[in-house]
């Protein structure tokens, strides 16, 4: 069963070209290039996140079972299917689409056509959009991520971290680096509390041995964030002052991504 063009048009129009995850404003398409991903609320294949054997083939690719997310948020929800159940995602979808537009513009129709071409191909195939030499690569049936490269012949860069590791996602890795950098700064006037010692705390907690914090799986991203905040930032001299004065200790993940404090 393939996703219908009318379904994709409706999905894009309702998305307002924005990730459906709360407080995330990441775009789905930038200057004609697809940077977002299509997410099935209930997986298309067995063993996928939130799979429902009772769902028909038509319903799996139906409008009610689809939402658009940025790559980072897609990883977060699929890594935590218990927290982000099909019921939770359906509610997020409805809340996000309440402010969507009803009229479909010619540009949105064009974007929907690109996605239709991609999803009618078999897994791990490529489709080229005329005019700009854009290649859309589809990787897998369940998650259906869409990666677009301007040069079709150029291979995507390989990461030195596993696909499901924090280091493979620029947003997650960047936020962890930001928090760890705060930790170094908050402890800088304390003897022996060096970056190496702070890093060892993380290695010990997560049993990393020779690996780095970027090797930690996406499933443990929030656990790592909580550990840095509670065990490194809060006990520091600067952290204690923030707590006494009632000021913010650090930015949240969303605030860090979009520049607010």
**111 part of a folded domain:** yes
Q: Are residues 139 and 171 in the same domain?
A: no
Number of domains present in the structure of the chain: 2
Higher pLDDT, 23 or 102: 23
pLDDT band with cut points at 50, 70 and 90 for residue 78:
very high
Residues 173 and 101 grouped into a single domain = no
Same domain for 218 and 173, yes or no, is yes
Indicate whether 159 belongs to any domain.
no
* Residue 199, in any domain of the structure: yes
Q: Does residue 192 sit in the same domain as residue 112?
A: no
Residue where a domain terminates, one of 116, 149, 182: 149
Cα distance from N-terminal residue to C-terminal residue, the chain: 45
pTM check: above 0.85? no
pLDDT of residue 251: 93
Q: What is the mean pLDDT of residues 3-9?
A: 85
pLDDT tens sequence across 33-49: 777 888 999 998 888 99
Q: Three-state DSSP class for 123?
A: coil
- Is residue 130 over pLDDT 50? no
Neighbours of 109 (CB within 10 A): 14
Mean pLDDT across 112-120: 63
Last residue within a domain, chosen from 149, 176, 202: 149
What percentage of the chain reaches a pLDDT higher than 90? 48
- Span 114-129, mean pLDDT? 48
Kindly report the backbone phi and psi dihedral angles of residue 136, in degrees, each rounded to the nearest multiple of 5, phi listed first: -110, 115
- Determine the pLDDT at residue 151: 41
Do 10 and 109 sit in the same domain of this protein?
yes
222 CB-contact burial (10 Å; exposed 0-12 / middle 13-18 / buried 19+): middle
Q: Is residue 157 part of a domain?
A: no
Question: Considering the chain, what is the average pLDDT of its residues?
Answer: 81
Of residues 147 and 179, more confidence is placed in 179
Whether the predicted pLDDT of 140 surpasses 50: no
In a domain, 158, yes or no: no
Regarding whether 236 and 192 lie in a shared domain, the answer is yes
Q: Would you say 31 and 143 are in contact if contact means Cβ atoms under 8 Å apart?
A: no
**Nearest residue to 34 via CA among 130, 114, 105:** 114
Do residue 183 and residue 108 come from a single domain? no
DSSP structure class, residue 154: S
Identify whether residues 106 and 174 lie together within a single domain. no
Nearest C-alpha neighbor of 119 from the set 95, 97, 138 = 138
Residue 85: inside a domain, yes or no?
yes
Residue 247 lies in a domain: yes
Q: Please say which residue of 149, 183, 217 terminates a domain.
A: 149
Q: Based on the fold, state whether residues 144 and 171 are members of the same structural domain.
A: no
Residues 60 and 114 in one domain: yes
Enclosing domain of residue 171: 166-258
Cα 199 from Cα 160, distance rounded (Å): 20
User: For residue 159, what is the DSSP state?
Assistant: P
| Residues 174, 222 share a domain | yes
């Amino acid at each position: 069963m393939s996703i219908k063009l009318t379904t994709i048009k409706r999905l894009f129009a309702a998305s307002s070209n924005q990730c459906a995850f709360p407080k995330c404003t990441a775009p789905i398409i930038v200057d004609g290039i697809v940077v977002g991903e299509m997410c099935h609320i209930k997986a298309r294949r067995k063993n996928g996140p939130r799979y429902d054997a009772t769902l028909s083939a038509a319903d799996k690719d139906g409008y009610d079972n689809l939402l658009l997310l940025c790559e980072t948020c897609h990883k977060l929800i699929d890594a935590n299917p218990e927290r982000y159940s099909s019921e939770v995602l359906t509610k997020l979808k409805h809340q996000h689409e309440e402010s969507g537009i009803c009229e479909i513009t010619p540009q949105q129709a064009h974007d929907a056509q690109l996605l239709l071409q991609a999803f009618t191909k078999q897994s791990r195939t490529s489709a080229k959009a005329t005019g700009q030499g854009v290649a859309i690569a589809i990787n897998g049936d369940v998650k259906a991520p869409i990666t677009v490269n301007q040069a079709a012949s150029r291979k995507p860069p390989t990461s030195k971290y596993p696909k499901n590791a924090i280091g493979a996602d620029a947003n997650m890795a960047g936020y962890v680096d930001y928090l760890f950098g705060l930790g170094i700064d908050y402890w800088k006037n304390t003897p022996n509390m060096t970056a190496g010692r702070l890093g060892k705390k993380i290695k010990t907690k997560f049993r990393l041995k020779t690996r780095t914090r970027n090797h930690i799986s996406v499933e443990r991203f929030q656990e790592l964030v909580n550990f840095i905040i509670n065990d490194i930032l809060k006990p520091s001299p600067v952290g204690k002052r923030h707590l006494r004065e009632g000021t913010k200790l650090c930015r949240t993940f969303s605030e860090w991504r979009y520049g607010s404090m």
